[in-house]
């Protein structure tokens, strides 16, 4: 019996976009070493393949804003200016973090299938001002597997939103990447405090094996 028919589970692939993973994108323009983000692409792809084979709901998220930037709060704009990569400014992949631009779209290795869910989000968390909650409720999802970038920002923001909504969460540690190497281990370590207050951390191999054997994750 497929895993999700007993314990409905969704794989949430967070922000594997050119703006965060490709030369010329937002992260690159902000001076972040994108090598770490690119380094998890192959592991996220393994998770995608296993989730698809197991029949899980697959959700891809993209952070970005409307072309007129009306959904970008002034404080967020100010932070991007301070980072040296103002949202909406021109770059080699189009306007930074703007929907419809080349940089806003997914890296070619991780393109969604036609029947998979794409959530465009204006904030760091995937539930904020999006339809994600409704999508998960319609599919009776109870458990989430999270991967993507960046660990300390959008992955953690989405994880915390999900936990507050009652989801049982597993973060795939080696399939996430932080913007700075020294942030990765603490970001993962804080998930497990107080008996796993934000769920648990697993490796890609552990999750893939569980999916292949229709075992409960988390």
> Among all residues, which ones are annotated catalytic?
15, 121, 154
* Cα(175)–Cα(48) distance, integer angstroms: 11
Give the phi and the psi of residue 59 in degrees, each rounded to 5. -125, 130
Alpha-helical regions (H) of 165-212: 181-189, 193-196, 204-212
- Give the CA radius of gyration of the chain: 16
* β-bridge partners, 65: 98
Closest by Cα among 112, 119, 104, 126 to 22: 104
């Amino acid at each position: 019996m497929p895993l999700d028919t007993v314990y409905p589970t969704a794989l949430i692939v967070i922000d594997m976009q050119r703006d965060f993973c490709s030369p010329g994108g937002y992260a690159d323009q902000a001076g972040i070493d994108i090598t770490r983000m690119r380094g998890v692409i192959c592991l996220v792809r393994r998770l995608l393949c296993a989730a698809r084979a197991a029949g899980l709901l697959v959700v891809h998220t993209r952070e970005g804003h409307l072309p007129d930037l009306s959904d970008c709060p002034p404080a967020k704009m100010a932070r991007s200016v301070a980072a040296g990569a103002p949202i909406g400014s021109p770059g080699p992949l189009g306007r930074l973090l703007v929907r419809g631009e080349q940089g806003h779209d997914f890296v070619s290795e991780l393109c969604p299938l036609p029947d998979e869910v794409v959530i465009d989000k204006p904030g760091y968390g995937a539930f904020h001002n999006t339809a994600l909650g409704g999508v998960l409720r319609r599919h009776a999802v109870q458990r989430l597997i999270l991967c993507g970038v960046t660990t300390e920002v959008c992955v953690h923001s989405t994880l915390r939103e999900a936990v507050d909504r009652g989801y049982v969460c597993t973060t795939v540690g080696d399939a996430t990447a932080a913007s700075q190497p020294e942030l990765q281990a603490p970001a993962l370590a804080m998930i497990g405090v107080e008996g796993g207050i934000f769920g648990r951390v697993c490796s890609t191999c552990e999750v893939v094996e569980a999916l292949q054997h229709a075992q409960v994750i988390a």
